[in-house]
Structure 1
């Protein structure tokens, strides 16, 4: 996907929908320019990695800051 075709708001919406469809309801993202920040809580380190992977599928190789906390 060519993320440069979308606004940060649209990218954020797309990523949030993808995360929530993957049952990560306590994770959200904020997009500013080419930077994506993931925040929230998940039960496992694997879920944290999965969230970053899903965001990367939408954004390509843009900067992703994974600030998700593992609480499980």
Structure 2
């Protein structure tokens, strides 16, 4: 396991997301995580995947000087 705080990660996998992750990945991605954890255990097939975090977006904007002028 890595030592990077959750708030600083750039990618989070759906199967590790909960509604507590809304600030990092938004509501729709967090809901996919909840669905995978709760409905997947009941046999509902949900595609796996990952979410790009708000931290990744912020880093991209900063690194490429895309902020407000």
Taking structure 2 as the reference length, the TM-score comes to 0.28
Q: Flag the structure with higher strand content.
A: 1
Larger radius of gyration between Structure 1 and Structure 2: 2
Q: Flag the structure with higher helix content.
A: 2
Taking structure 1 as the reference length, the TM-score comes to 0.27
